[in-house]
Structure 1
Amino acid sequence: MKIYVYSILLCWFFVSCGKKDRIEREIREIPVDIKVTRFDKIFFETAPEDLEKIKKEFPYFFPAGNDDQIWLEKMSNSQWRELYGEVQKKYSDIDPVKNDLTALVQHLKYYFPKTKTPKLITIISEMDYTNKAIYADSLVIVSLEMYLGKEHRFYEFPNYIKQNFEEKQIMADVVSSFSKRKITPDVSKNFLSRMVTAGKELYLKDLLLPEYSDADKIGYTPEQIKWCEENENYMWRYFIEKQMLYSDDQKLTSRFVGPAPFSKFYLEIDNESPGQVGAWIGWQIVRSYMENNEVSLQQLLELNAKEIFEKSKYKPKK
């Protein structure tokens, strides 16, 4: 009997791998030509007297009501120019980023056929870590100053934030931005809905960034992924015993779903835990749902969290 079950599992594994390989071959054949505009270079290499020209060409980077002196000061300020110099050292060749975006857009077109081929625009912004990369239908805007490497001397951020200031995170951040357009908001605002919504975003990364590790998809270190895997059963029991799943307590988002230095169980394990463990659990629920139900990706993104959870057959690994 054991041999029979093992044989079935082995066959299923090879069929599954074969299907994934076929899909990836089809994706690689999708024609995509990404155009790149280095606005970071255009801005800092433009003479002050020509400011008006680039304002007309790129009006969306110059909000109405701002005095030109703001932009002229930025062009000549020594600290901004030093930052520009660091960006050029790191990204003198933008082709690796372009190639990564090309592969991502091929996946987007496969799973979302109406996707337009966006133009890649690189900028140097205000070090806003909440908007490092923006997907805007026909544009992908990347703030290169936010991807200089977590150890860069310019970064005065907590470790849990700057650990994702790596080039590898650019496409993960683009998918996060893209997902906001595709995931139907859940009318319920309880803890379960917030976990599952985060889980949908991470599941999109499973499909759109298949070469990425789980750590890169969620922005963890390998050690943090291992912690979640080893403590999955404990975390789930905690959520159940505390009757959190259908709680509307908004503080649960900051405790367990949003980026944070650690999750707040208010126990000794807090300092060992990474932030976002609720998002990680939501990810496992969505994965389990997709393994146990025949639904399209579009249907998944539209379904409410309660239905996904109830049909997921999710059981934490012990």
Structure 2
Amino acid sequence: MKSKLLLILSLSFYLFSCNGQNTHIPAAVTSAAPVKINRFDKELFKLVDTGDSTRQAEITGGYPQMLDVLGKGILNMKSPAMPGFFDKLTSYYSEPTLKSLYADAIRQYDDVSQIEQQLGNGFAWLKACFPSMQIPAIYMHVSGFNQNVLVGDSLLSISIDKYLGEEYPLYQEFFYDFQRRLMTPEHIVPDYLAGWLMSEYPFEGKENVLLDRMIYEGKIKYLIHQAFPELTPEQLMGYTVASYNWCKENEANLWKAIIERKHLYTPDQMTTTKYFDSTPSVFLSSDAPGNIGSWIGWQIVDKYMKETDATPEALMQNNDSQAILTASKYKP
């Protein structure tokens, strides 16, 4: 089977609660069967920690596809069968700071039963929206702040060292506060689902056109919030309450600035990228938070879903960003 690999460095999250006016949106699920998480992270750490090469055959037999995906995504090695694969693997994870981070991650996530329940609820909701969607095998890994989400054929894994909490000491050294707000346990399950949605419905627009990127990111954020409405919009976006309120109060001004600067349609990769960076969007306003493009995209998609009563499947299959904007009647 031909392997596909989707590497998602960071998954930025969400905003603006929907009022449930679309009759085709299933209610969030709260009592589905849990989804089992395959603890590749624990098994790999045993190999790294003990240096026992006899474990190589065991982990190769138990997690062949996960080794393949991790090797390509993190080690830049095409196959676990390549000479020196396990030497490079153990060397990478034996770096003292990374090894300590690894140990902290699997200690904090020793028991993942609550996450498994939330995953069960989330994927049950996705299955209700997308009946033909295949539910992947779920894994956990540690990347050392490298690839946050790894997706392969029928496989989805998340890097748990990204979710140790805002106050985790090592985060204080390497990340800004606006980045750390997304590095908390409540973002694990939304990131799992967003990663799978983006794998099943990859971006097909023009990467350098702001509107295309906005609508795509807005679709993902809209659907994830429908699956987990208990999470506040500011939590999902990684915003403070003040930043979230600022966005709502200044939505019309933000949209006006985008139109006046001709950013919406002009194919400019550098400018478009700025709208999706986690860094505060000071190019628009000194008070604007980061990832403002995703925020506005969510507002457009939310309006579109209310105006058209479209199904989630129809939403994801519609790749005409201009048609979505027009039908949304978005005029903040």
- TM-score normalised to the size of structure 1? 0.82
Aligned in 2, Cα 1:239/1:66: closer, same or farther, shift over 3 Å? farther
Give the alignment partner of residue 288 of structure 1, picking from 278, 283, 303: 303
Query: Match for residue 44 of structure 1?
Result: 45
State which drifts further: 75-84 or 215-224. Answer: 75-84
Secondary structure at the aligned position of 2:134 is classed as coil
Task: Report the residue type matching 1:259 in the other structure.
Answer: D
Give the alignment partner of residue 288 of structure 2, picking from 255, 273, 279: 273
Secondary structure at the aligned position of 1:168 is classed as helix
Shift of 1:74: 5.0
- Please give the root-mean-square deviation of Cα atoms over the aligned residues, in Å: 2.7
1:134–1:174 CA contact under 8 A, matched in 2: no
Measure the CA separation in 2 of the matches of 1:259 and 1:188: 14
2:212–2:321 CA contact under 8 A, matched in 1: yes
Measure the CA separation in 2 of the matches of 1:295 and 1:84: 43
Measure the CA separation in 2 of the matches of 1:250 and 1:77: 36
1:289–1:312 CA contact under 8 A, matched in 2: yes
Secondary structure at the aligned position of 1:121 is classed as strand
Query: Match for residue 157 of structure 1?
Result: 175
Measure the CA separation in 2 of the matches of 1:240 and 1:79: 46
Aligned in 2, Cα 1:203/1:183: closer, same or farther, shift over 3 Å? farther
Give the alignment partner of residue 173 of structure 1, picking from 183, 186, 191: 191
1:24 is the counterpart of 2:42: no
Aligned in 2, Cα 1:66/1:263: closer, same or farther, shift over 3 Å? farther
Query: Match for residue 305 of structure 1?
Result: 321
Query: Match for residue 87 of structure 2?
Result: 69
1:154-303 correspondence to structure 2 within 5 Å: 154-155=170-171, 156-180=174-198, 181-182=200-201, 185-186=204-205, 189-256=208-275, 258-265=276-283, 269-270=285-286, 272-303=287-318
Aligned in 2, Cα 1:134/1:101: closer, same or farther, shift over 3 Å? farther
Gaps of 5+ in 1: 1-14
Aligned in 2, Cα 1:75/1:51: closer, same or farther, shift over 3 Å? farther
Query: Match for residue 145 of structure 1?
Result: 161
Secondary structure at the aligned position of 2:169 is classed as coil
Secondary structure at the aligned position of 1:186 is classed as coil
Shift of 1:78: 4.1
Shift of 1:309: 0.8
Query: Match for residue 140 of structure 2?
Result: 122
Gaps of 5+ in 2: 1-18, 72-78
Per-residue CA deviations over 1:248-307 (Å, capped at 9, x if unaligned) read 122222222x123211436xx32x210111221111111111111132222222221110
Query: Match for residue 85 of structure 1?
Result: 103
1:224–1:273 CA contact under 8 A, matched in 2: yes
Query: Match for residue 331 of structure 2?
Result: 315
Aligned in 2, Cα 1:171/1:38: closer, same or farther, shift over 3 Å? same
1:101-120 correspondence to structure 2 within 5 Å: 101-120=119-138
Aligned in 2, Cα 1:284/1:77: closer, same or farther, shift over 3 Å? closer
1:104–1:208 CA contact under 8 A, matched in 2: yes
Query: Match for residue 5 of structure 1?
Result: none
1:205–1:217 CA contact under 8 A, matched in 2: no
1:199–1:279 CA contact under 8 A, matched in 2: yes
Q: Which structure would you say has the larger RCO, counting Cα contacts within 8 Å and 6 or more residues apart?
A: 2
Secondary structure at the aligned position of 2:250 is classed as helix
Aligned in 2, Cα 1:244/1:17: closer, same or farther, shift over 3 Å? closer
Task: Report the residue type matching 2:40 in the other structure.
Answer: F
Measure the CA separation in 2 of the matches of 1:99 and 1:56: 27
Secondary structure at the aligned position of 1:259 is classed as coil
2:218–2:300 CA contact under 8 A, matched in 1: yes
Measure the CA separation in 1 of the matches of 2:201 and 2:157: 18
Aligned in 2, Cα 1:296/1:51: closer, same or farther, shift over 3 Å? same
- TM-score normalised to the size of structure 2? 0.78
Task: Report the residue type matching 2:217 in the other structure.
Answer: A
